[in-house]
């Protein structure tokens, strides 16, 4: 199957409003606040709620209007998967009904004897993804005014995401082998060339990439990540809840085997190392998804690329082990034993790779 997209659009220094739509948000920012891409703007539900309808009357063999007396947990209470929610004695036997999912006992229909259990979507911190100014908070959305360069694609699969742009491909029509994808991809938006295989997607999943940009994608590359074909069809059309990977894939041209266009590939190469967000079209008022790279601050001050690049010699200011090393990854978020996040990168010295906080690394002019 091959689906062609329209010609890509490359626009520089565009001022736009990025609208982050949120589900049941607890907003952590205020209007006029300046935010960075990793600033947490809210805690909100991700994915969608699941429901299970249980025919209690049928399971226990009682009249629908009598179901309430056999419930062992009250409506509104939370239950775990497999937990007994209704029981009835019949002679020497005890009939029991268990909840198939973890959730809350929501409603009981006394006309049908059916109980509904609702599993609410998990809640997570939501980052801004772009640098800019919060201009509006309303209707379950936080809007951030930002300035940057955008390139339109054909379809965005998975959640919106962001990270430093890493161009691995050396030409737009190349499909990279598996061993090209290493620790440099951790936390990065990776430009992988023409397409990627299921093996590459699995590797990027293991490494922890933030996103992938390709010219095209085959359906066969996605099939191993889905339980059934109907789930994959939903994920490719409407349902984000069915997407099985934690990172997004921005397909620039369409499905099949189509190379990135030369102007688009060159534009991506020019922005290597810059923070890049993969956004849905509706988030910025367009009908196509985009990759968005900040180009200048709201005051007109140019934004500098990420100063640390792969292979760059650096000086480590570690109290117990200072010295010279070489950068082996773009910056990413790591966590200490207490669970607190900090920006880090991988460096190599004396043949060993170690994780070092970015604050303790100084670039050198030469080896």
Which tens digit of pLDDT belongs to each residue from 284-342? 988 889 999 877 555 544 544 556 778 888 888 776 667 888 888 877 766 555 555 66
pLDDT of residue 228: 80
Query: In the predicted model, what is the mean pLDDT of residues 196-215?
Result: 95
Which tens digit of pLDDT belongs to each residue from 110-148? 999 999 998 877 778 999 999 888 999 998 899 999 988
Residues with Cβ within 8 Å of residue 34, at least 6 apart in sequence: 131, 132, 133, 134, 298
Residues with Cβ within 8 Å of residue 273, at least 6 apart in sequence: 164, 165, 166, 305, 306, 309, 330
Which tens digit of pLDDT belongs to each residue from 239-291? 566 688 889 999 999 888 999 999 899 999 988 888 899 999 999 988 889 99
Whether residue 275 contacts residue 37, with contact meaning beta carbons closer than 8 Å, is answered with: yes
Q: What is the reported pTM?
A: 0.68
Read off the tokens for 172.
């737009």
Query: In the predicted model, what is the mean pLDDT of residues 17-46?
Result: 87
User: What is the band of 14 on the pLDDT scale with cuts at 50, 70, 90?
Assistant: confident
pLDDT of residue 252: 93
Find the distance separating the first CA and the last CA of the chain, reported in whole Å. 49
1: pLDDT strictly greater than 50: no
Spatial distance between the Cα atoms of 367 and 182, rounded to a whole number of angstroms:
23
């Amino acid at each position: 199957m091959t689906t062609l997209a329209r010609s890509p659009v490359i626009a520089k220094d565009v001022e736009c409003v990025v609208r982050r739509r949120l589900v049941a948000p607890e907003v952590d920012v205020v209007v006029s606040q300046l935010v960075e891409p990793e600033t947490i703007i809210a805690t909100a539900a991700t994915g969608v709620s699941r429901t299970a309808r249980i025919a209690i009357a049928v399971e226990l063999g009682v009249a629908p209007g009598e179901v309430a007396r056999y419930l062992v947990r009250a409506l509104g209470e939370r239950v775990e998967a497999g937990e007994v929610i209704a029981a009835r004695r019949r002679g020497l036997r005890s009939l029991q009904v268990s909840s198939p999912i973890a959730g809350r006992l929501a409603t009981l229909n006394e006309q049908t004897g059916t109980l509904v259990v609702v599993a609410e979507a998990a809640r997570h911190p939501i980052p801004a993804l772009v640098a800019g100014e919060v201009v509006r908070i309303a209707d379950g959305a936080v809007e951030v005014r930002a300035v940057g360069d955008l390139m339109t694609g054909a379809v965005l699969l998975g959640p919106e995401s962001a990270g430093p742009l890493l161009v691995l491909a050396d030409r737009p029509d190349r499909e990279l082998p598996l061993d090209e994808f290493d620790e440099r991809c951790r936390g990065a938006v990776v430009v992988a060339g023409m397409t990627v295989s299921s093996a590459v997607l699995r590797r990027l999943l293991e490494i922890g990439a933030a996103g992938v940009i390709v010219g095209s994608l085959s359906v066969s590359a996605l099939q191993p990540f889905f339980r059934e074909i109907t789930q994959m069809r939903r994920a490719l059309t409407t349902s984000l809840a069915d997407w099985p990977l934690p990172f997004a894939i921005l397909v620039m041209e369409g499905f099949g085997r189509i190379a990135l266009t030369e102007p688009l590939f060159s534009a991506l190469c020019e922005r290597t190392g810059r923070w890049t967000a993969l956004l849905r079209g509706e988030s910025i008022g367009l009908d196509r998804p985009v990759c968005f790279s900040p180009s200048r601050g709201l005051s007109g001050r140019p934004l500098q690329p990420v100063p640390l690049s792969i292979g760059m010699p650096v000086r480590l200011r570690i109290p117990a082990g200072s010295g010279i090393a070489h950068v082996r990854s773009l910056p990413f978020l790591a966590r200490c034993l207490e669970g607190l996040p900090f920006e880090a990168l991988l460096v190599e010295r004396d043949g060993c790779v170690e994780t070092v906080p970015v604050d303790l690394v100084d670039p050198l002019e030469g080896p």
